């Protein structure tokens, strides 16, 4: 007699099941089950994982689900064939789409319409009523089900250890015989082992929003809902052997496997009756001729032929056509896009225009990206302008229809902090304890359980509750919590998508997604296309538009002149503020050392400053070898892999290849290794792979130290994997943005400002940088500015850049539209603006931004006028000036203006704030940042500036990098970990930071190694207040010159303080990056 | 007479209040926090914290970056309102008219008060010292107008007393924020370069009114005393307290009994009027030698029955030591509850625990044998049988949970299950016989098992499999086996209760 468990709730029934599908399947395999069903609540979300795990363990799963109905008893549904599966999937889709995200509204009638080919088990009420019988309504329900499902209906019989199990089963059996609906034994499994009951109780608490102490009867009295062995089930159902036999009967009938799902690409993309391959071939050659001319280079012809042959072999033609279709739409709409990913950098893609990376620059073999052995679908991600990606997404939905296209789901998992919070809350820990706990818990490791970190936080690591919390947290980590939508991964099918998988609503309007995530669809061999958003593309497109308008250039990603030495010179100087990817502090300091001279150097540059290579200690060896150190390869076979990067693994592909070639991994294992790093570090897989990789490499004669570094690097790749193919696509954007910056800094600055927020820098730095490159900048003005920043006439070599209203904080685009449409001729008074319909608040903001200069008012006078604008002449007196005595306001100093510029636009064209206190700084022997160039290495210096960026990368062992800026430029500070702790207050609080330290020079890169820090922010206060006495006060007499009293102890005079306080806050706090 | 006003500003009202209650905190930096859009923001910082640069409005995370050991407490919604009002009530001793100005200022109409304390300076100094002694840091100022006193108290460090009619001079140099106008107005004025009251006071009224509205003008006029300002004095909330001073000191028990009766009569008649009854009360006797004698009673349900309450006190009256005599008796009801007058129905008695007579009886029994010896049980939400019932806290505590009846539970549940010896041959089956207190019971009928797991967050251990069994005498028992059936190894069995 064979028992098959038919009622299994996994943790994809969120906050209900307490085991992963993998765990349940493994447990079933351990009990020698040949099959096990997975029946999540109104969902198929967990079945793929179960399927994959079952395959690996040599059993099979029965894809099924539990249908919780609004107007009937729950039904377990088991499709027996692909057709039946399709129907159930359509049923779930129906329920999903009529409910909000995360819910599924189903009625029994819906089930009747989709029941063909499926077996059903009805789940009876858990207990009998007072007269030891089932409610008559349930009997009625059964009758109705029976009349619809006929012989495909069963009743679930479960032993719950409720005390009256025998009575219950006896009654159930009576009912079953009376209605001729056979009994089936199930165990209503919620977890794979009884020990998981505790976690299940916690999940119940999270779901019911209560604590374990108050949960009461919402919990279950015992732990019987775990998976049990066949023998145990047989024993429990000794009196009802038929119920056991029937599980086998159902399992036997349900032979449908997810393997049968055949994914088919849409076919409507061909023209003139060609087959997909013919179409692709046609388009590829057509594109090739367009790019290279009739006289195709031999190399291209071979490459195209080779690739097409490969595509034919793998049957990927449709995939390429689909991508091509989307890209073509974007291009028609003038949306800039760029493909990346394993297949994107092929010659065919270049000919189709999917990528602009010229394959001849880049002699990579196609198969290096797509390995037929791995049988993994090609991977093409397409980046679009971030402001216009939605258009592309809606195009896809529209073209293929919502029933055929949907976004892939992402499974939001319980992360460390979230899991800790959930468990802690459910265990009734106080908010305070919880926050202390979560601040002391960085990583779940043995250290934690030893408890030294906990003790530091004043927690007792031997506390039983605390121990339990940590143990349960560890179990909960990695649990799926909800299904979200992937950033842009689309699945598009030939037939109905719901034939393959239930579709559901996403939280965002107009979006639908499927229940499976990218790993799931990978496992089933579905292809997905990533439609992603990239800010830099928006910026580049805006730059192209400006270049067209002002310089009459028709630029595209493909036609920017390549290999321009002037551009590389600029890059080598690290003059890269605003440039894609290589603008960060770390990148900037790498550039002069790496000295990129060709396209491939940029590819390396993009990939090298990443956690992977840094954690793997690969950066310095690479730089040394580049500067002439002899390259040695650990072995001949690795030379092939590592040749292009001088023997140092920098790319993800290389690390994986090493695992295959040097450590004897199969390609599939290597892939699993990469994935295990990316998803979760808890599951013990990492240690397994670590042993395997290092062991394997040592066995093959590599040094252990080297092996360890390779592994470390792989670990780093986990979260930020950076494959060569992606680096290549990014490098192109690096080059293009550098080229624009190099030749058209006006266009570049304008485009970046109009695409903000993006990148690493604030508008102030972009503006300063543009000035440095001889671009004239003009302030916001009501008579000249538009919403966007714009280029006016040529002032020198370049066009002058007029700041737009978008730079002014708090202005709304609609208000500016009103202003611009009213601007038929130059405005001459504020009343005209107010008559045009601009609100007082808007006018105040414009005044604050000092935008009335063209009508002869500075910000203060403008504000004086504006503040009276609500009270203006109307009716017949309209347009008349307000009769008012002339009142003279105190004049504003330049420094005060600068402060206010910073308040309203975060930048000032008038002067740099630090310039006003230079004199004071000089008295303190503080040097300007531009003087650092001339000071010799090792000198002790003092330098001060506004804090732009503070960075404490996880890879830098607690070292903090700070960039400060004064009126002459920027300085880079390095604060070592010990000092950071000592001066954290100064570092974190200062707007104006002064440091003492030693100058260090490495090539052209200058650092200040900080010894001491001081907070000089109070100097900024004086920009507005202390100068007051010296200012002419025209008409208002002042009795005496006593200034506002200065507080002598903290807390006193808070309100008087408040004013000067806010002035410090005007200056950007500086950005913190991890 | 010229009006005189005092304003008292508590710059650290809440943190001072906490420091007073938790002296250990006082010397170290601590802050109060509120959560705002998921961020935890510092709503108040004590002086020690402010010295390290921690300010109101800062994110807690930033504060902790400055002082890693920073203590923080949750800021309760609005204790400052209550707190300030209670301080205002206290201030009634300084002046009959005290008003609160939220969040942290008190206004006293001190007209004609100061001379009682020897002049204005010593009056103010006395007030400041009183608060300092309590642990509150305050700033106070006195002037002809509230506005001027407010301004000076917030923005002048050393000046406290503004002489008559000198308010204009006193405020000219102060920042415009001293006018008690909202922050936006202050900001606007500052942007226009108008920083001191001086800068605006001479401006044409019309120009000011157009731009800054009526309020600014009003505030200026109020500060200068051109316009009168009215305040809303706090009122003392009526407490349930009655006093009975005596002309002659009382030294006899009879005297005390009379006093008690009189006090009870007054307080009960007041309670009756308000449909209330007391749950606890304190009878206090102030002796002529400054000592205080107290007795306290509590009732099971609210009562305003003089006789009953008297009886409760009576049991303890012996403990009062009158010594040289008692000059003042007070009675205070701490806990007062609604007690609607019940329509008396002479054809029907209230029965059960709703009967007043019953609870009065209970009070009397409790007074004699001690409350700890009377129990009432209510159901509790636990599966574990020992925890499925709990002691009720009072006789009239409402049962919020229904008694669970779907599973059989014995009438009598033993506090600790008692070990029994059994013969039980098959798993998941009840034993055939068991021996309890040396008597063999042959089991004739049984039901079960009902498996109940440990409540792991309270206690760990093996589960129990409960059976309801009936022996040949027809007696029913609730027995259980600890843990899984182990076959050869003997399981432990227990008897846990008796069915009727």
Reply yes or no on whether the pLDDT at A24 is more than 90: yes
Q: Which pLDDT band, with edges at 50, 70 and 90, does A1057 fall under?
A: very low
- Indicate if B231 and B266 belong to the same structural domain: no
Q: Would you call the peptide bond into A757 cis, given omega within 30 degrees of 0 as the criterion?
A: yes
For A864, the closest of B156, B192, B381 (CB atoms) is B192
Q: Which pLDDT band, with edges at 50, 70 and 90, does A448 fall under?
A: low
- Indicate if B215 and B297 belong to the same structural domain: no
A224 membership: H or E segment, kind and range: none
Smallest CA–CA distance, residue A505 to chain B, in Å, is 27
The pLDDT of residue A1055: 36
A792-820 pLDDT per residue, tens: 888 888 899 999 898 888 888 888 888 88
A679-734 pLDDT per residue, tens: 544 455 667 777 888 888 888 888 888 888 777 777 766 555 577 778 888 888 89
The pLDDT of residue B396: 67
Lowest mean pLDDT among A218-222, A674-678, A901-905, A1047-1051: A1047-1051
Q: Residues of B with CB below 8 A from A1061's CB?
A: 55
Residue B357 lies in a domain: no
Asked if the C-beta of A402 comes within 8 angstroms of chain B's C-beta atoms, the answer is no
The pLDDT of residue A967: 85
- Indicate if B222 and B281 belong to the same structural domain: no
Asked if the C-beta of A1032 comes within 8 angstroms of chain B's C-beta atoms, the answer is no
Residue B191 lies in a domain: yes
* Domain-terminating residue out of B171, B204, B237: B237
Residue B96 lies in a domain: yes
Reply yes or no on whether the pLDDT at A412 is more than 50: yes
The pLDDT of residue A1044: 31
CB within 8 Å: B192 and A984: no
- Indicate if B326 and B452 belong to the same structural domain: no
A265: helix, strand or coil: coil
A540-598 pLDDT per residue, tens: 999 999 999 888 888 888 888 888 899 999 988 888 888 888 887 778 878 888 888 88
* Domain-terminating residue out of B315, B338, B361: B338
- Give the mean pLDDT of chain A: 82
- Indicate if B216 and B267 belong to the same structural domain: no
- Indicate if B315 and B432 belong to the same structural domain: no
- Indicate if B231 and B149 belong to the same structural domain: yes
Q: Residues of A with CB below 8 A from B427's CB?
A: 235
For B451, the closest of A130, A222, A1049 (CB atoms) is A222
A326: helix, strand or coil: helix
Provide the domain limits for residue B308. Answer: 253-338
- Indicate if B481 and B430 belong to the same structural domain: yes
Encoded tokens for A1046: 């200065």
Residue B314 lies in a domain: yes
Decide which of B489 and A88 is more confident.
A88
Asked if the C-beta of A1026 comes within 8 angstroms of chain B's C-beta atoms, the answer is no
**Which one, of A949, A972, A974, lies nearest residue A960 by Cα?**
A974
Residue of B nearest to A866 (CA): B211
Asked if the C-beta of A845 comes within 8 angstroms of chain B's C-beta atoms, the answer is no
A331 membership: H or E segment, kind and range: helix A317-332
Q: Which of B191, B381, B402 is the mutation pick for testing A, counting most A CBs within 10 A?
A: B191
Asked if the C-beta of A164 comes within 8 angstroms of chain B's C-beta atoms, the answer is yes
Residue B21 lies in a domain: yes
**Which residues of B110-236 form beta strands (DSSP E)?**
139-143
Cα–Cα distance for residue pair A908/A803, rounded to 1 Å:
11
Q: Is A621 exposed, middle or buried (0-12, 13-18, 19+ CB in 10 A)?
A: middle
Lowest mean pLDDT among A507-516, A551-560, A874-883, B388-397: A874-883
- Indicate if B258 and B233 belong to the same structural domain: no
Contacts 24+ apart (CB under 8 A), B463-467: B463/A222, B463/A223, B464/B494, B465/A161, B465/B428, B466/A163, B466/B385, B466/B496, B467/B430
CB within 8 Å: B407 and A163: yes
Q: Which pLDDT band, with edges at 50, 70 and 90, does A879 fall under?
A: low
Smallest CA–CA distance, residue B305 to chain A, in Å, is 39
Cα–Cα distance for residue pair A143/A117, rounded to 1 Å:
20
* Domain-terminating residue out of B237, B272, B303: B237
For B203, the closest of A863, A887, A900 (CB atoms) is A887
Residue B248 lies in a domain: no
- Indicate if B328 and B264 belong to the same structural domain: yes
**Which residues of A765-839 form beta strands (DSSP E)?**
777-778, 790-794, 799-802
Cα–Cα distance for residue pair B331/B242, rounded to 1 Å:
5
What is the mean pLDDT of the segment spanning B411-437? 88
Lowest mean pLDDT among A298-312, A418-432, A499-513, B26-40: B26-40
Residue B274 lies in a domain: yes
Q: Residues of B with CB below 8 A from A1054's CB?
A: 11, 56
Q: How many CB pairs under 8 A join A and B?
A: 160
Reply yes or no on whether the pLDDT at A189 is more than 90: yes
Total domains in chain B come to 3
For A217, the closest of B172, B190, B381 (CB atoms) is B381
The pLDDT of residue A145: 94
- Indicate if B20 and B132 belong to the same structural domain: yes
Write the DSSP symbol of residue A99: S
A223-245 pLDDT per residue, tens: 999 999 999 999 999 999 999 99
Task: Give residues 428 to 467 of A whose Cβ lies within 8 Å of B.
Answer: 431, 465
- Indicate if B189 and B270 belong to the same structural domain: no
What is the mean pLDDT of the segment spanning A113-117? 92
Cα–Cα distance for residue pair A804/A790, rounded to 1 Å:
7
The pLDDT of residue A985: 74
The pTM for the full model equals 0.71
In terms of average pLDDT, the best of A59-73, A383-397, A454-468 is A59-73
Encoded tokens for A640: 């092939």
Residue of A nearest to B451 (CA): A161
Cα–Cα distance for residue pair A576/A584, rounded to 1 Å:
9
Give the DSSP letter string of A968-980. Answer: TEEEEEEE-HHHH
For B198, the closest of A864, A1039, A1058 (CB atoms) is A1039
CB within 8 Å: A863 and B382: no
Asked if the C-beta of A810 comes within 8 angstroms of chain B's C-beta atoms, the answer is no
CB within 8 Å: A1059 and B177: yes
B333 membership: H or E segment, kind and range: strand B326-338
A831-874 pLDDT per residue, tens: 888 888 888 888 888 888 888 888 888 888 888 888 776 666 55
Residue B397 lies in a domain: no
Residue with tokens 């001889």: A774
Domain of B80, CATH number, reads: 3.30.70.270
B262-294 pLDDT per residue, tens: 999 999 998 888 888 888 888 888 887 767 788
A735-763 pLDDT per residue, tens: 999 999 999 999 999 999 998 887 778 88
């Amino acid at each position: 007699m064979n028992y098959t468990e038919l009622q299994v709730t996994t943790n994809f029934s969120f906050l209900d099941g307490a085991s992963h599908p993998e765990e349940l399947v493994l447990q079933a395999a351990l009990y020698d089950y040949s099959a096990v069903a997975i029946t999540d609540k109104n969902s198929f979300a967990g079945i793929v994982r179960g399927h994959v795990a079952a395959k690996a363990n040599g059993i099979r799963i029965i894809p099924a689900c539990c249908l919780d109905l609004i107007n009937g008893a729950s039904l377990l549904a088991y499709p027996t064939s692909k057709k039946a599966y399709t129907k159930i999937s359509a049923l779930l889709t129906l329920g999903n789409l009529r409910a909000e995200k995360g819910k599924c509204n189903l009625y029994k009638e819906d089930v009747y319409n989709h029941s063909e080919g499926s077996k059903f088990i009805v789940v009876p009420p858990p207990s009998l009523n007072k007269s030891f019988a089932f409610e008559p309504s349930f009997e009625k329900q059964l009758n109705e089900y029976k009349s619809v499902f006929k012989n495909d209906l069963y009743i679930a019989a479960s032993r719950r250890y409720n005390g009256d199990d025998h009575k219950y089963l006896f009654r159930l059996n009576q009912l079953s015989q009376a209605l001729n609906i056979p009994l089936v034994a199930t165990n209503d499994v919620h977890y794979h082992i009884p020990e998981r009951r505790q976690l299940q109780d916690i999940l119940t608490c999270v779901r019911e929003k209560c604590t374990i102490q108050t949960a009461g009867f919402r919990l279950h009295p015992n732990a019987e809902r775990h998976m049990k062995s066949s023998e145990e089930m047989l024993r429990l159902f000794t009196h009802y052997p038929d119920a056991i036999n029937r599980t086998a009967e159902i399992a036997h009938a349900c032979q449908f496997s997810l393997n049968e799902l055949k994914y088919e690409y849409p076919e409507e993309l061909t023209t003139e009756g060609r087959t997909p391959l013919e179409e692709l071939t046609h388009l590829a050659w057509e594109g090739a001729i367009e790019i290279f001319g009739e006289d195709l280079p031999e190399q291209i012809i071979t490459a195209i032929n080779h690739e097409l042959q490969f595509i034919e072999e793998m049957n990927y033609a449709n995939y390429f056509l689909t991508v091509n279709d989307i890209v073509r739409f974007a291009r028609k709409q003038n949306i800039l896009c760029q493909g990346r990913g394993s297949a994107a950098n092929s010659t065919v893609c270049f000919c189709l225009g999917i990528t602009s990376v010229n394959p001849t620059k880049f002699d990579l073999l196609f198969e290096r990206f797509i390995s037929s052995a791995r049988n993994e679908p090609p991977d093409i991600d397409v980046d679009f302008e971030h402001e216009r990606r939605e258009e592309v997404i809606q195009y896809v939905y529209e073209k293929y229809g919502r029933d055929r296209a949907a976004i892939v789901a992402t499974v939001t998992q319980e992360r460390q902090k979230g899991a800790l919070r959930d468990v802690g809350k459910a265990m009734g820990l106080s908010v305070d304890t919880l926050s202390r706990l979560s601040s002391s818990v960085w990583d779940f490791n043995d250290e934690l359980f030893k408890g030294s970190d906990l003790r530091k936080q004043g927690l007792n690591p031997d506390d039983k509750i605390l121990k339990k919390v940590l143990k349960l947290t560890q179990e909960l980590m990695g649990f799926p919590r909800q299904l979200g939508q992937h950033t842009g991964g689309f699945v598009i099918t030939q037939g109905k998508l719901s034939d393959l998988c239930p579709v559901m609503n996403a939280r965002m309007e107009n979006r639908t997604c499927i229940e499976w995530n990218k790993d799931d669809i990978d496992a089933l061999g579905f292809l997905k296309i990533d439609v992603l958003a990239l800010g830099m593309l928006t910026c580049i497109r805006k730059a192209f538009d400006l270049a067209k308008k002002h310089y009459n250039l028709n630029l595209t990603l493909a036609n920017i002149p390549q290999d321009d030495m002037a551009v590389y010179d600029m890059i080598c100087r690290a003059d890269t503020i605003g440039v894609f990817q290589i603008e960060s502090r770390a990148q900037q300091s790498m550039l002069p050392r790496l000295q990129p001279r060709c396209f491939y150097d940029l590819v390396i540059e993009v990939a090298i400053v990443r956690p992977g290579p840094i954690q793997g200690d690969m950066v310095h060896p690479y730089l040394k070898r580049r500067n002439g150190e002899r390259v040695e390869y650990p072995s001949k076979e690795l030379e092939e892999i590592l040749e292009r990067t001088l023997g140092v693994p920098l790319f993800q592909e290389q690390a994986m290849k090493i695992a295959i070639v040097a450590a004897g991994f199969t390609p599939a294992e290597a892939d699993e290794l990469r994935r295990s790093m990316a998803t979760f570090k808890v599951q013990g897989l990492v240690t397994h792979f670590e042993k395997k990789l290092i062991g394997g490499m040592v066995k093959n004669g590599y040094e252990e130290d080297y092996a360890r570094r390779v592994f470390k690097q792989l670990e780093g790749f986990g979260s930020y994997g950076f494959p060569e193919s992606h680096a290549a696509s990014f490098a192109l954007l690096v080059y293009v943005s550098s080229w624009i910056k190099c030749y058209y800094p006006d266009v570049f600055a304008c485009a970046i400002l109009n695409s903000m927020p993006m990148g690493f820098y604030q508008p102030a730095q972009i503006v300063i940088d543009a000035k440095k490159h001889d671009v004239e900048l003009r302030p916001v003005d009501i008579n000249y500015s538009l919403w966007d920043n714009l280029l006016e006439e040529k002032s020198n070599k370049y066009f002058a850049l007029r700041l737009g209203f978008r730079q002014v904080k708090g202005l709304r685009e609609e208000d500016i539209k009103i202003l611009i449409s009213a601007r038929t001729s130059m405005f001459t008074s504020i009343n005209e603006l107010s008559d045009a319909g601009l609100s007082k608040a808007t006018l105040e903001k414009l005044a604050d931004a000092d935008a009335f200069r063209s009508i002869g008012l500075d910000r203060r006078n403008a504000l004086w006028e504006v503040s009276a604008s609500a009270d203006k002449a109307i009716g017949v007196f309209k347009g008349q000036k307000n009769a008012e005595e002339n009142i003279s306001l105190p004049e504003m100093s330049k420094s005060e203006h600068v402060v206010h510029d910073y308040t309203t636009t975060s930048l000032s064209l008038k002067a740099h704030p630090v310039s006003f206190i230079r004199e004071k700084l000089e008295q303190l022997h503080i040097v300007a940042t531009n003087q650092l160039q001339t000071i010799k290495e090792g000198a002790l210096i003092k330098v001060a500036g506004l804090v732009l960026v503070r960075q404490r990368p996880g890879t830098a062992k607690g070292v903090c990098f700070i960039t400060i800026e004064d009126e002459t430029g920027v300085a880079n500070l390095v604060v070592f970990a010990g000092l950071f702790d000592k001066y954290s207050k100064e570092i974190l609080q200062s707007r104006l930071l002064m440091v003492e330290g030693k100058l260090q020079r490495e090539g052209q890169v200058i650092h200040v190694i900080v010894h001491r820090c001081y907070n000089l922010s109070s100097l900024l206060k004086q920009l507005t207040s202390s100068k007051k006495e010296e200012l002419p006060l025209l008409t208002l007499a002042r009795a005496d010159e006593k200034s506002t009293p200065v507080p002598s102890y903290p807390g006193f005079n808070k309100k008087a303080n408040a004013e000067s306080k806010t002035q410090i806050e005007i200056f950007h706090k500086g950005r913190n990056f991890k | 007479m010229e009006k005189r006003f005092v304003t008292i500003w508590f710059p650290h009202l809440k943190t001072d209040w906490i420091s007073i209650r938790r002296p250990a905190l006082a010397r170290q930096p601590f802050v109060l926090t509120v959560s705002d859009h998921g961020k935890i923001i510092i709503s108040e910082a004590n002086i020690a914290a402010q010295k390290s640069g921690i300010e109101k409005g800062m994110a807690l995370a930033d504060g902790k970056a400055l002082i890693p050991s920073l203590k923080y407490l949750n800021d309760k919604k609005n204790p400052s309102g209550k707190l300030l009002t209670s301080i205002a009530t206290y201030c009634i001793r300084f002046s009959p008219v005290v008003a609160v100005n939220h969040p942290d200022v008190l206004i006293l109409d001190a007209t004609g008060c100061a001379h009682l304390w020897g002049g204005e300076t010593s009056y103010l100094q006395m007030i400041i010292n009183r608060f300092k002694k309590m642990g509150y840091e305050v700033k106070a100022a006195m002037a002809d107008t509230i506005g001027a006193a407010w301004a000076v108290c917030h923005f002048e460090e050393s000046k406290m007393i503004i002489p008559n009619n000198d308010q204009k001079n006193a405020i000219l140099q102060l920042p415009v924020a001293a006018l008690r106008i909202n922050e936006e107005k202050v900001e606007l004025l500052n942007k226009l370069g108008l920083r001191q009251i001086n800068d605006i006071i001479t401006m044409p009224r019309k120009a000011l009114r157009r731009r800054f509205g009526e309020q600014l003008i009003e505030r200026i006029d109020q500060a200068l005393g051109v316009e009168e300002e009215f305040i809303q004095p706090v009122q003392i909330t009526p407490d349930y307290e009655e006093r009975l001073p005596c002309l002659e000191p009382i030294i006899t028990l009879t005297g005390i009994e009379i006093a008690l009766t009189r006090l009870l009569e007054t307080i009960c008649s007041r309670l009756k009027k308000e449909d209330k009854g007391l749950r606890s009360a304190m009878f206090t006797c102030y002796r002529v030698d400054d000592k205080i004698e107290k007795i306290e009673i509590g009732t099971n349900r609210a009562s305003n029955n003089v006789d009953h309450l008297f009886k409760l006190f009576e049991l303890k009256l012996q403990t009062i030591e009158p010594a040289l005599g008692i000059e003042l008796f007070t009675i205070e009801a701490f806990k007062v509850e609604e007690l609607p007058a019940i329509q008396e129905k002479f054809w029907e008695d209230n029965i059960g625990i709703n009967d007043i007579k019953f609870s009065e009886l209970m009070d009397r029994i409790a007074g004699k044998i001690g409350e700890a010896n009377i129990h009432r049980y209510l159901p509790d939400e636990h599966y574990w049988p020992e925890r499925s019932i709990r002691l009720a806290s009072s006789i009239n505590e409402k049962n919020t949970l229904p008694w669970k009846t779907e599973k059989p539970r014995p009438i009598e549940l033993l506090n600790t299950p008692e070990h029994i010896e059994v013969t039980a041959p098959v798993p998941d089956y009840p034993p055939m016989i068991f021996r309890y207190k040396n008597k063999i019971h042959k089991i004739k009928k049984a039901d079960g098992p009902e498996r109940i797991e440990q409540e792991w967050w309270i206690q760990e251990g093996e589960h129990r499999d409960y059976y309801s069994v009936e022996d040949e005498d027809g007696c029913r028992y609730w027995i259980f086996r600890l843990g899984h059936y182990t076959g050869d190894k003997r399981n432990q069995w227990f008897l846990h209760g008796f069915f009727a």
